[in-house]
């Protein structure tokens, strides 16, 4: 047995969940022959859920993501690379 402490970060887990959700949404849009990037950007800018297909429950999933947190994560990850 070790005395190591495992650090758990809620922020990292939240970003991981957003990434998983965005991948599901992206795949659902691609399966329906939409341009996934354009549709997701349209949703982020307008918060109009009709940019996202209902296929594979994508619309309901994307609405669970806080747009402000999503934008923060996107900008942070973009600038870090």
Digit-coded pLDDT (tens) for 23-50: 999 999 999 999 999 999 999 999 999 9
Asked if the structure places residue 42 within a domain, the reply is yes
Q: Tally the residues of the chain.
A: 81
Domain that holds residue 68: 13-80
**CA-to-CA dists, residue 27 to 4, 13, 76, angstroms:** 39, 21, 23
- Asked if residue 6 has pLDDT above 90, the reply is no
Mean predicted lDDT score pLDDT of the chain: 90
Residue with tokens 């996934």: 36
Residue 35 belongs to some domain of the structure = yes
* Structural domain includes residue 3: no
Of 50, 76, 77, the residue nearest 63 (C-alpha): 50
Helix, strand, coil shares of the chain, percent, nearest 5, are 70, 0, 30
pTM of the complete model beyond 0.85: no
Confirm whether 4 is domain-assigned: no
Of 18, 47, 50, nearest in space to 34 by CA: 50
């Amino acid at each position: 047995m070790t005395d190591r402490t495992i650090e758990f970060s809620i922020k990292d887990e939240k970003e991981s969940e957003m990434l998983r959700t965005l991948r599901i949404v992206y795949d659902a849009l691609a399966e329906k022959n939409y341009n996934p990037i354009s549709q997701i950007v349209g949703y982020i800018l307008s918060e109009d859920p009709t940019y996202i297909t209902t296929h594979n429950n994508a619309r309901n999933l994307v609405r669970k993501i806080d747009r402000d947190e999503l934008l923060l994560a996107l900008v942070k990850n973009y600038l870090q690379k």
